[in-house]
A and B are shown apart, each in its own frame.
Chain A
């Protein structure tokens, strides 16, 4: 019968194995980070793990449900009153919005501007947020099967929360605003100044970079999406300026912003089914270039 070699001969540290494992690991990291060559493996692995993840997130859901169920009568009554007053207010606002909208569309027609279509949305639920020291991501329960695409924005009722970065069959991965290297083009609501908002890393405020030291910005200014890159629909609130440090040197002002959406306290959120429009026309070739090309061909 086969038996493994006695423990005596297994002694000693496996330096060769360690070396090759580290080498292989580095190669795989490189293939994933630079070449994105491992998406297939990830897709298969995620499809295998998804049912378990879904199952394991059930207790949390159940506790939410039971908390809702056993709410006391008084708190419910209070909530009802609050909501009815809110409803009145919203009705008023809706009336106002209707008139504004009709006025707006009229003006748009006058200006013969492209009419913006309403963005369709889809409700989604957070399954879990993967443990990672470097990034801030969440997994939601909608995926390829629901028509989600990489790059679609995610929002809560308060504003933009992030963007889909990876789509699986029934789930997808969302990078939150705080995620490192997250970039979103924004507009200062007060004066229309266009800038770009950057995510710095977990737990740190967002940063407005490449802003002139003398730019007209104040603490408390609201930032909304500008819609310039075509990834985000225009006019959705994103963040509020929380701190401005106008340094005396030439490096420009350091402007810290706070996201308007509560990034870590939401269980339900909205996927905006907004197709990125990257069909901008290329600039027409000028006559001189055409002539040069013709000359080259002639030669």
Chain B
């Protein structure tokens, strides 16, 4: 019995929180640089904590969903999420061994690259207009500030993984 609950949690933990983050993104926040991408933060957390469950393919699918939601060209967010997930997997050891402060600084880099890639793709599709730096820096900083909070909240859901590893 205990085992089945354990298994259920390990299945639904990432899925439910990612769905929740997606719904959080769907609120009518408006179109301004001050709106962070909650799904990106949650995805980053799960790619770091459970790379065997949430990998680049999940990131790709979630990105496609996000493209439909924001009525962007299909595949733009998919590439952004895949790139962010890749950097996190690449930096996995440094991230897991760092203190919370150090981890937050590495995440700032990840979010900056993700938002830069988003604008870069849009710039490639529609060249001519300069990239607006407000849309790279402001969301990245807000997402970095949210990272410790999301980590705290999601770690509760991820407790089964810690059991698994010890």
Whether A22 pairs with B79 at a CB distance below 8 angstroms is: yes
Smallest beta-carbon distance B72→chain A, Å = 6
With A46-B68, A180-B129 already in contact, the answer to whether A132 and B56 are too (CB < 8 A) is: no
- The verdict on B13 contacting chain A, using a C-beta distance below 8 Å, is no
A53 close to B79 (CB less than 8 A) = no
A86 to chain B, nearest CB (A): 31
Interface size of B by Cβ–Cβ distance < 8 Å? 49
A4 to B10, CA, bound (A): 13
In A11-45, the 8 Å CB interface with B consists of 11, 13-14, 17-18, 21-22, 24-29, 31-33, 38, 41-42, 45
Contact of A21 among B27, B31, B79 (CB under 8 A): B79
Q: Give Cα A139 to B31, complex, Å.
A: 12
Q: Given A52-B26, A56-B23, answer yes or no on A25-B75 (Cβ-Cβ < 8 Å).
A: yes
Closest to B76 in A: A29
Is B69 a contact partner of A49 (Cβ separation < 8 A)? yes
Contact A131 B29 (CB under 8 A): yes
Most chain A beta carbons < 10 A, residue from B63, B71, B135: B71
Min CB gap B50→A, angstroms: 10
| B82→A25 contact, CB < 8 A | yes
Interface membership of A129, Cβ < 8 A = yes
Chain A interface category by residue count: 35 or more
* CB pair A25 B60 closer than 8 Å: yes
Q: A13-B86, A14-B89 are in contact. Are A130 and B56 (CB under 8 A)?
A: no
What is the 8 Å Cβ interface bit string for chain B, positions 58-69, against chain A (1 contact, 0 not)? Answer: 011001110011
**B98 beta carbon closer than 8 Å to chain A:** no
Contacts of B52 in A (CB 8 A): 4, 7, 10
Taking CB atoms, residues of chain B closer than 8 Å to A56 are 23, 26-28
Q: Say yes or no for A182: interface residue by CB 8 A criterion.
A: no
What A residues does B122 contact at CB under 8 A?
133-134
Q: Are A173 and B71 in contact (CB under 8 A)?
A: yes
Q: Which one of A7, A42, A200 lies within 8 Å of B68 (CB-CB)?
A: A42
Partner of B35, one of A38, A131, A180: A131
In whole angstroms, how far apart are the Cα atoms of A125 and B26 in the complex?
17
Is the C-beta of A166 less than 8 angstroms from some C-beta in chain B? yes
Q: Are A21 and B28 in contact (CB under 8 A)?
A: no
Interchain CB contact (< 8 A) of A166 among B57, B65, B71, B125: B71
Is the CB–CB distance between B82 and A22 below 8 Å? Answer: yes
B33 / chain A contacts, CB cutoff of 8 Å: 133
**Do the beta carbons of A17 and B118 come within 8 Å of each other?**
no
List A contacts of B72 (CB < 8 A): 130, 132
Q: Are B68 and A133 in contact (CB under 8 A)?
A: no
Given A14-B86, A46-B68, A26 contacting B126 (CB threshold 8 A): no
- Which chain A residues have a beta carbon within 8 Å of chain B's beta carbons? 4, 7, 10-11, 13-14, 17-18, 21-22, 24-29, 31-33, 38, 41-42, 45-46, 49, 52-53, 56-57, 60, 127-134, 136-137, 139, 166, 173, 180-181, 200-202
The 4 closest A-B pairs by CB, nearest first: A128-B28, A28-B75, A45-B68, A133-B135
Given A24-B60, A180-B126, 10 more contacts at CB 8 Å? A7-B165, A13-B90, A18-B86, A21-B79, A41-B68, A53-B26, A128-B27, A134-B119, A181-B126, A200-B129
A–B complex contacts, Cβ < 8 Å, 15 sampled? A22-B82, A24-B60, A25-B76, A25-B79, A32-B74, A38-B74, A42-B74, A46-B68, A56-B26, A128-B30, A131-B37, A133-B122, A134-B126, A173-B71, A201-B129
